[in-house]
Amino acid sequence: MSKHSIYPLTLDGNSVDKKRLEIKEYFHNTYDLFEKVFELLKDDEVFYQKSEITRHPMIFYFGHTATFFINKLINMKIIDKRINSDFESIFAVGVDEMSWDDVESSHYAWPTVDDVREYRHSVKQRVDELIMSLPLTLPIAQDSDMWIILMGIEHERIHIETSLVLHRQMPLEFIKEVDEFNLCVESSTAPKNEMITIISGEVKLGKERSHNLYGWDNEYGVFNESVEEFKVSKYLVSNSEYMEFVLSGGYENRDYWDDEGRKFLDITKVKYPHFWIKDGEVYKYRTISSVIDMPLSFPVDVNALEAEAFCRYKSQKEGVKYLLPSESEYRVIYEQSGEGEISNSENANLNLSYYSSCPIDKYNFNGIYDVVGNVWQWSRTPIRGFDGFEVHEAYDDFSTPTFDDKHSLILGSSWASSGNLIMKYSRYAFRKHFYQHAGFRYVISQTKDKKVQDIYESDELVSQYCEFQYGETHFGVNNFAIETAKIASKYALNHSKALDLGCATGRATYELAKNFNEVEGVDFSVRFVQVGSKLKESGKVLFHSVEEGSLIKNKRVTLQDLGYENLVDKVSFWQGDACNLKANFNSYDLVMATNLIDRLYNPMLFLETVDEKLNDEGILVITSPYTWQESSTKKEFWLGGYCDESGEEIKTIDSLKNILSDKFELIHLQNLEFVIKESARKYQHTISEVSVWKKR
């Protein structure tokens, strides 16, 4: 493979055959680059090390980007057959800065690196076949099967970048040099920073659905803003400029830090940037695979809390208010720089032309340096969806879990960025304490940012479910989560540990905790799981209920309102796939599968293995209205609601009896109504069937 990273392809074109070849080339380049990055790990033992305590061991990431292809293709019903269902379960969830992912690696017996290498090879072959055979029309639209392939590729591009961060965080003895990974060896004294005036402008931040480059969900939609004249630093903040702050006691003076920053200082005890190494009284500098003398003209790598602290320090010192740029201000700079839609590594330090930062005065964009490339630039803007934001069905938790005002946008890309990451419209955001190859520049701006209010759930479907689980009752029908938890608790013989599978926004998980010592809430969608998790962490659920048209009523429910203050330690929330549940979900006295089986891509996979999850005398509760639909479940996997070959009508309850009777005894059967509010005048009124099964 070449170390050269090729540029992303366009979605349009004249020849389908040519496009397939382009996709294949881009896929191979991505896949090979990713594997090359893992050659930095000294030996196979190192794959089981973590770069940070809160992260997975590296073997996880090595498997993860390959399983992503297969899991998404399965979920979108583009393919039917898994390659390795164990791998596709344990390597499934990667966004591991989030609390609902299970990062306790002791749960797993990780496979050997060679087995994962072999697996990666099988995935590569399968994806190759699909690239050449999937239906394809140009331009490639978001509902195209091929979009899922592109999604897998761009997902892997993200992990190329983040893996390079993780490797740079690894103890040096675990890392070896890789020949092709060249550092920028130019270094000098840093130029003195200065402020450049940027004239006012109108910005259009969102891109259109017909745009001819791949985009993640958060890039689409409409957001226009007028930006007043402001000033911006000509250069990124260099190690040299930041050194003043460190040497003047910036990390000790708590006035420079906000609450989140102080918490960060207290927990980490840091006194200087993460990739600086203190050697006696001298600061050295960690690259991916070496420690070198401090390159004073390179940009400093810091997290957002450190960047903000620097701004407060500089403001205090000079009596002028310095801020991080907003997303809109940055776009004005971008537009005035003359930069195109995809940045080129001949004019900027990106797309892996170097494997390190370079001096801040190397790349000039009409007077401002490093508008793109070198290191990401923290903004002061928390990521939100634009007007018209829609999640992509195949990856519905790519963005929405970050729309919480705690994730700040990073701007402009770094030397390790490629693919979608170097596109004008791309938008990535991280928690403020998180490290990336990221630094900052500052602005003097009069713009008044809107005060952050409580964040009410903006996801329509999630809000509808919050209303269903935490809102009012209608037509005299009782709260379904409470009722199902009551029935399940009544029939359960032992009450140690319960699984609320398909927990949605988590109400029944809490209700079960009234009777069980420990309850795990699991849902396929992180969008939903985060509600129960937020209730636990912040003590409240904030959502809205649709009244008429686009008129809504904001609602707030607290742990106190619910009487759950003493239950929070008993519940936990996890993302998981009921058709391929991780091995560490086990030893339950109760598994409750609520309105789940008719939404699974292959319900048989769940039913055939659920007994293994249960203790002796364990109870399985299934509730469902049996509303099978081809958009969720291919007809060949329906359990009922069709005629078999002989013309006989197959009902779901009869199939459940056939499938489960070997391992379970049916001990109770009843109807239970529920009502979901769509607006003040429109409701879904459903009659679920509750079946209670005792493990034989």
Alpha helices in 257-401 (DSSP H): 259-268, 304-318, 327-337
Determine contact, residues 591/620, Cβ cutoff 8 Å: yes
- Residue 650 structure tokens: 């197959």
* 688 contacts a copy of itself (rule: CB under 8 A): yes
Q: Which of 106, 135, 179, 346 binds a copy of itself (CB under 8 A)?
A: 135
Of the residues 3, 431, 599, 651, which one makes contact with a copy of itself according to CB under 8 A: 651
- With CB under 8 A as the contact rule, the residue among 95, 139, 366, 537 that binds a copy of itself is 139
Among 115, 393, 649, 665, binds a copy of itself (CB under 8 A): 649
Six-digit token string for 502: 């398909």
Q: Tell me whether the omega of the peptide bond preceding residue 139 falls within 30 degrees of 0, making it cis.
A: yes
Asked if 551 touches a copy of itself (CB under 8 A), the answer is yes
Nearer to a copy of itself, 210 or 446 (CB): 210
Asked whether position 220 contacts a copy of itself by CB under 8 A, the answer is no
Q: How far is the CB of 257 from a copy of itself (least distance, A)?
A: 37
**Residue 98: both structure tokens together:** 């989030």
Cβ atoms < 10 Å from Cβ of 158: 18
Rule CB under 8 A: choose which of 625, 637, 657, 668 binds a copy of itself: 625
Residues 6+ apart with CB under 8 A from 289: 40, 167, 172, 175, 176, 177, 178, 181
- Specify the residue, 496 or 629, whose C-beta has the smaller distance to a copy of itself: 629
Q: Which of residues 195-214 bind a copy of itself (CB under 8 A)?
A: 210
Nearer residue to a copy of itself within complex by CB, 102 or 598: 598
For residue 406, what are the contacts with CB-CB under 8 A and spacing of at least 6? 382, 431, 432
Q: Which is nearer to a copy of itself, 397 or 483 (CB)?
A: 483
Q: Which stretch binds a copy of itself (CB under 8 A): 57-65, 137-145, 185-193, 605-613?
A: 137-145
Radius of gyration for the alpha carbons in the chain, expressed in angstroms and rounded:
27
Handedness of CA 609, 610, 614, 618 (dihedral sign): negative
Q: Using the minimum distance from each CB to a copy of itself, give the nearer residue, 381 or 688.
A: 688
Question: Counting contacts by CB under 8 A, is residue 22 touching a copy of itself?
Answer: no
Give the chain's count of helices (H) and strands (E). 16, 25
Closest C-alpha to 543, from 431, 468, 451:
468
Q: How many residues bind a copy of itself (CB under 8 A)?
A: 39
Say if strands 376-382 and 438-439 run parallel, antiparallel, or are unpaired: parallel
CB of 456 to a copy of itself, least distance (A): 16
Q: Is 678 in the site for a copy of itself (CB under 8 A)?
A: yes
HEC profile of 364-419: EECCEECCCCCCEEEEEEECCCCECCCCECCECCCCHHHCCCCEEEEECCCCCCCH
Q: Which of 550, 569, 616, 644 binds a copy of itself (CB under 8 A)?
A: 550
* 3-class SS shares of the chain: helix, strand, coil, % to 5: 35, 20, 45
Q: Give min distance, CB of 649 to a copy of itself, in A.
A: 5
Sheet containing strand 428-431, strands side by side? 428-431, 407-411, 376-382, 438-439
Considering beta carbons, is residue 145 or 361 the nearer one to a copy of itself? 145
Does the footprint of a copy of itself cover residue 626 (CB under 8 A)? yes
Q: Answer yes or no whether residue 57 interacts with a copy of itself by CB under 8 A.
A: no
- 137 is a contact residue toward a copy of itself (CB under 8 A): yes
Say whether residue 111 binds a copy of itself (CB under 8 A).
no
Q: Rule CB under 8 A: is residue 689 a binding residue for a copy of itself?
A: yes
Q: Which of 87, 395, 638, 693 is the binder for a copy of itself (CB under 8 A)? A: 638
Q: Using CB under 8 A, which of 53, 109, 475, 647 touches a copy of itself?
A: 475
**Token pair in block for residue 292:** 């070198």
Using CB under 8 A as the criterion, which residues of the chain lie in contact with a copy of itself when the complex forms? 12, 14, 135, 137-139, 210, 475, 547-551, 625-628, 635, 638, 640-643, 649, 651-652, 675, 678-689
